[in-house]
Chains A and B, each alone.
Chain A
């Protein structure tokens, strides 16, 4: 994909850590190239990722690679200008996000506080696995992003879109389970594919990129910008 993204995904620490631990950082590139998704993190998330004592040997090099390749970016003032335009929102500044983030940080960790704050102000999906933090923000009357996706929404979506085969998704599940990471309940006792049948993936494709209007736990739709991998393979 060339040019500007159609939508921004703002990643929280726990969700991005899972993608990096599973060595699936190239998924961020697929999202950008084939679905017009710009993947962003806040500075606070970068600090948390670099400071995770557990698995830092896995996470740090993968993060470096993703940042260096431009598959994921630290959200800057110039990104904000572009994103505000494409979301049809008024101008959003880093100062706005920092002010709201500081407010959210009274209730949840810094990374998720600034992630949700950015996603709320930009009207973008946040990618976070921490349901408890979302419930806490909700119970304190704080606004939430239009959609909150989880790392497994990415894995499942890219599996259904044929970027990750059965072996790859099963490997992701096995790796994350071995690190005692969160995985969806239906996948804890069965395989990724079997578990997927009993789990609602919140990410799918449609004719246009859009969010469901009814709440943060509803589906988000991405518009494919390229052909499916299988179609490419067929030469069609």
Chain B
């Protein structure tokens, strides 16, 4: 039994693991085969990535670890072994789990402890659920409790613009990064050491819109909220009806979708929009439908489904709305609908370039896009001498030279 067996069991490769923690492949192989002892500092990181106890990865106690079952990788890796997932999915999730570990480290170095306010919020929301109610009803009850406890839906506005900041401020990790040609649309799982776990929501941005991702984030949040015991939920792109129906039939999916819709676009918000704009839900044009999408931050497909579900429209009108092309109108009403080139043209290169190419990890050939707020927090910690430049590079998963070239102003501020 060796680290290699645990890694194989997770469906990962040694080289992917070595790259992700920035260790020489030859040396990592020696650790994997138990030929050399893995230093505890690295065992802690690998344990957090694989979802096992650190002692399970130390060379000597490996046999004991096997007996006690603490060497078995976490639920996410079992799910990701499925044929529908590839190396790109697994390696991206490995990086995301590394980020989860790093986020805990950052919070401990800056605030003394990891942010666990999400656990209080989750507990409070779950107390308001009737577990005997239908899945859809449970989702709605949870959404109402959630909105009441947060600022979601306040002031008669959509919550899409604030959802990321709001969730991150409660210690929930949200990563939006592209995995090209992957079937994974989103997933939620726990990251961090076993005593300091936090929910992590990952959304694949490849060929996805901001409006779609808002729905996916809230859907995955519902999984994190309701399905914590499962340890992981993965949602794949439902690109055919058979697949779509299969997923929707599941209790957990129905509940999660109901939660997402109620949080992002409850009926009262639709009425509020209509009242403010002098339109009626059953008389929407491409212009006003685009307005509702821009107002709520919810993709057209879901908006129309919500209108239908609330019986504002019938099936015929729903089909008609779904066939409307609102892309031009939406671009006029929301910068979120602009492509990168259009956005740069609109806001100017200087503003757009401030974060351009500064958020991708470089530690391994697979890359993920880090959240702006996370990068900002790391840089702030450097500027206030909470962490060193080397530590910042480690937390951002880039090599030190990349850190120097990306953030010269931060470096010059803290060095002689």
Query: 1/0 per residue B79-93: CB within 8 Å of A?
Result: 000000000000000
Question: A101 to B44, alpha carbons, bound, how many Å?
Answer: 13
Cβ of A54 under 8 Å from chain B: yes
Contact B41 A130 (CB under 8 A): no
Q: Which residues of B contact A101 (CB under 8 A)?
A: 41
Kindly state whether residue A140 has any CB partner on chain B within 8 Å.
yes
Query: Which residues on A sit within 8 Å (CB–CB) of B41?
Result: 44, 98, 101-102, 105, 110, 113-114
Secondary structure at chain B's binding surface: helix, strand, loop or mixed? Answer: helix
| A109 CB–B CB distance under 8 Å | yes
Q: Of B21-29, B121-129, B198-206, B224-232, which binds chain A? A: B21-29
Q: How far is the CB of A113 from chain B (nearest CB, A)?
A: 8
Residues of B within 8 A of A177 (CB): none
CA distance A138 to B390 in the complex (A): 16
B42 contact set on A, CB distance < 8 A: 44, 47, 110
List 25 interface pairs A-B (beta carbons < 8 Å), by A numbering: A47-B23, A50-B23, A50-B24, A51-B24, A53-B399, A98-B40, A101-B41, A108-B388, A108-B390, A109-B388, A109-B390, A110-B39, A110-B42, A112-B390, A130-B390, A131-B415, A132-B390, A132-B414, A132-B415, A133-B388, A135-B385, A136-B387, A139-B385, A139-B386, A140-B109
| Minimum C-beta distance from A174 to chain B (A) | 20
Q: Roughly how many angstroms separate A114 CA and B41 CA in the complex, as a whole number?
A: 9
The A-contacting residues of B in range 373-396, CB under 8 angstroms, are 385-391, 394
Q: Tell me which residues from 14 to 60 in chain A have a Cβ below 8 Å from any Cβ of chain B.
A: 42-44, 47, 50-51, 53-54, 56
Given contacts A106-B109, A132-B389, 12 further A-B contacts (CB under 8 A): A42-B39, A47-B27, A53-B399, A101-B41, A102-B40, A106-B105, A107-B109, A108-B390, A113-B41, A114-B41, A133-B389, A135-B414
One of B27, B37, B386, B416 near A51 (C-beta < 8 A): B27
The count of residues in chain A whose C-beta lies closer than 8 Å to any C-beta of chain B is 30
Q: In the assembly, what is the distance between CA of A36 and CA of B258, in Å?
A: 73
Q: Does residue B60 face the partner (Cβ distance < 8 Å to A)?
A: no
Q: In the complex, what residue of chain A is closest to B415 when comparing beta carbons?
A: A132
Complex alpha-carbon distance, A47 and B385, angstroms: 26
Give which listed residue, B24, B40, B387, contacts A107 with CB less than 8 A: B387
Task: Pick from B39, B390, B399, B401: contact of A47, CB below 8 A.
Answer: B39
Residues in A neighbouring B391, C-beta threshold 8 A? 107-109, 133, 136
Please report the C-alpha to C-alpha distance between residue A54 and residue B399 in the assembled complex, in whole angstroms. 10
Q: Is B248 among interface residues, defined by CB-CB distance under 8 A?
A: no
* Whole-angstrom distance between the Cβ of A101 and the nearest chain B Cβ: 7
Within 8 A of A (CB), among B161-203: none
Cβ–Cβ contact A51 & B23, under 8 A: yes
Bound form: Cα–Cα A82–B39 in Å:
22
A residues near B26, Cβ cutoff 8 Å: 50
A-contact bits for B29-52, CB 8 A (1 contact / 0 none): 000000001011110100000000
Q: How far is the CB of B129 from chain A (nearest CB, A)?
A: 37
Instruction: List B contacts of A130 (CB < 8 A).
Output: 388, 390
Q: Which of A60-87 contact B (CB under 8 A)?
A: none
A61 to chain B, nearest CB (A): 13
Distance of A168 from chain B, by nearest CB (Å): 27
B243 within 8 A of A: no
A44 to B24, CA, bound (A): 12
Let me know if B386 and A107 touch, CB within 8 A. Answer: yes
Q: Determine the residue in chain A with the shortest Cβ distance to B18.
A: A51
CA distance A98 to B415 in the complex (A): 28
Query: Which residues in chain B, 98-116, are within 8 Å of chain A measured between CB atoms?
Result: 105, 108-109
The 10 A-B pairs at the shortest CB distance, nearest first, are namely: A109-B390, A139-B385, A133-B388, A106-B109, A43-B39, A51-B24, A136-B388, A108-B388, A50-B24, A110-B41
A109 near B394 with CB under 8 A, answer yes
User: How many Å lie between the Cα of A132 and that of B41 in the bound state?
Assistant: 21
Query: Which residues of B have CB within 8 Å of A109?
Result: 388, 390-391, 394
CA A105 – CA B41 in complex, angstroms? Answer: 9
The residues of B that contact A113 with a CB separation of less than 8 Å are 41
The answer to whether B388 touches A107, judged by C-beta atoms less than 8 angstroms apart, is yes
In the complex, the answer to whether B388 meets A51 with C-beta atoms within 8 Å is no
Which residue, of B23, B24, B26, has the highest number of chain A Cβ atoms within 10 A? B24
Q: Within the complex, what minimum Cβ distance (angstroms) separates A136 from chain B? A: 4
Q: Which of A43, A102, A108 contacts B387 (CB 8 A)?
A: A108
CA distance A141 to B182 in the complex (A): 47
Q: Is the CB of A131 within 8 A of B416?
A: yes
**Contact digits for A112-154, partner B, Cβ 8 Å, 1 yes 0 no:** 1110000000000000001111011001100000000000000
Residue of B22, B387, B389, B390 with most partner-chain A CB within 10 A:
B390
What's the Cα separation between A132 and B42 when bound, in Å?
Answer: 23
Chain B residues contacting A108 (CB-CB under 8 Å) are 387-388, 390-391
Are the C-beta atoms of A136 and B385 separated by less than 8 Å?
yes
Q: How far is the CB of A43 from chain B (nearest CB, A)?
A: 4
Q: Which residue of B lies closest to A134 (CB)?
A: B388
Query: B residues within 8 A CB of A185?
Result: 416
In the complex formed, the residue of A with least CB distance to B384 is A139
| A106–B108 CB distance below 8 A | yes
A136 to B385, CA, bound (A): 5
Residue of A nearest to B26 (CB): A50
Chain A: CB-nearest residue to B390 = A109
A102 neighbours in B (Cβ, 8 Å): 40-41, 44
Instruction: Give the distance in Å from the alpha carbon of A139 to the alpha carbon of B415 in the complex.
Output: 14
A131 to B24, CA, bound (A): 26
Bound: A136/B395 CA distance, A: 15
| B107, closest chain A residue (CB) | A106
- In the complex formed, the residue of B with least CB distance to A140 is B386
- B394 (CB) vs chain A CBs: closest residue: A109
Whether the pair B108, A133 counts as a contact (CB closer than 8 A) is no
User: Which residues of the other chain, B, contact A107 by a CB distance below 8 angstroms?
Assistant: 109, 386-388, 391
Interface centre among A42, A106, A130 (most CB of B within 10 A): A106
Kindly list chain A residues whose C-beta atoms are within 8 Å of the C-beta of B385. 135-136, 139-140
Please give the distance in Å from B406's CB to the nearest CB on chain A: 16
